[in-house]
A and B are shown apart, each in its own frame.
Chain A
Amino acid sequence: MDNTEKKGRSGGTVGVGYISIMLIFTVICLTIFAVLSFQAVYSSDKMTSRSDGFTQQYYTADMEAKKTLSKLDGLAAEALDGFSFEDGFIEAVSGVEGVSAARIAGGVRVEFSQAINERQTLAVSVVFFSAPSGERFRIEKWNSTEKEISGESHPSVWDGGDLV
């Protein structure tokens, strides 16, 4: 076998199968990249949807709380005409569902809460005074709080009691 014959056999063409292997590798890589990018975008979109949903829930609760506040302010305005503002207002507030009122020095503290979702509520605390419109109330608390989690959701932890 001479040199020219050796060159002709080994260095001439690409062998059958190499193209397929390279191509399958390329397609697998591209598929992995495509799936990963789609998954990243999809999870980000899901997160955005949840965040947007929460914002809508919060503002709906905020709107309802303001509606209640406007109703309470109306009752306070009516109570101003009575003999005692505090007594008249507390009596009027007792008719509003989900609202509690307590007399404090100089006015009446009213507390109520509005559900935002299953986990959170908007807790509101307002103090009403015997004063003209615009100065009739002062908001002390207007924030979202976590609802109390029931005992069932906590896993019971073994404290070693039975063994002893």
Chain B
Amino acid sequence: MIRLKVNRRSNVLLYAEMIIALLFFVISFAVIIRVFASADSLERRSRQRQSAALCAQSIAEAYSVSGDVQKAVSLALGADLRDFTGSAEIGLDSGFYPADSSDVILRLDEQKQDTAAGIYSELVVEFFDNSGDDEELIYSLKCGAYVPGGAAVG
């Protein structure tokens, strides 16, 4: 009789400990999962910004050498911009390749200034994240080119 009572008490203690432990685990796991999730989203955003910066740098470098937006975009992304008239929008996929489904939007805005001896122009390259409800700016770069009558100056 006494042994049975002791066993029952031990089982009750064990169940109580299990319930408390489970509660503790659930609460701490929720916090840990949040930390993992924020690390994952930060990493994804960082990677996206890195890709955007690389693309923008490629476009800027090609633009400052050629002074031609169409050529710069064609060299950097392989996209065709035949009807470019000062500003354009290109849809890109998550790997930053031109695509119909646009996870990322590339906006180009060119301002030309006719100087006495040539043409000085500025290009704004902007990447927007289009995967959410609102467009969010990922990266923006402003670069310039000078075309002295003939070819641009690098």
Contacts and interface: CB of A to CB of B under 8 A. Distances in A.
* A and B associate in one complex: yes
B99 interface: no
A139 B151 CA distance: 13
Contacts of A74: 115-117
5 contacts: A23-B24, A30-B32, A52-B139, A67-B120, A70-B148
B153 interface: yes
A134 B150 contact: yes
A102 interface: no
Nearest to A42: B42
A70 B17 contact: no
Contacts of B139: 52
A66 B104 CA distance: 30
Contact of A66 (B25, B146, B150): B146
B39 interface: yes
Contacts of B45: 45
B101 interface: no
Interface stretch (A9-17, A83-91, A147-155): A9-17
B122 A63 contact: yes
A41 B38 CA distance: 10
Candidate in A17, A45, A139 with the most chain B CB atoms within 10 angstroms: A45
Nearest to A64: B144
B91 to A, nearest CB: 23
Across chains A and B, which 5 residue pairs bring their CB atoms closest together, nearest first? A133-B149, A63-B144, A134-B150, A74-B116, A34-B35
Interface residues of A, number: 49
B131 interface: no
A77 interface: yes
A42 B38 CA distance: 10
Contacts of B116: 73-74, 77-78
A70 B32 contact: no
A14 B115 contact: no
Contact of A134 (B24, B141, B149): B149
B43 interface: yes
Interface in A65-116: 66-67, 69-71, 73-74, 76-78
Contact of B21 (A13, A23, A71, A139): A23
B10 A16 contact: yes
Interface string A47-73: 011011001100110111011011101
A52 B17 contact: no
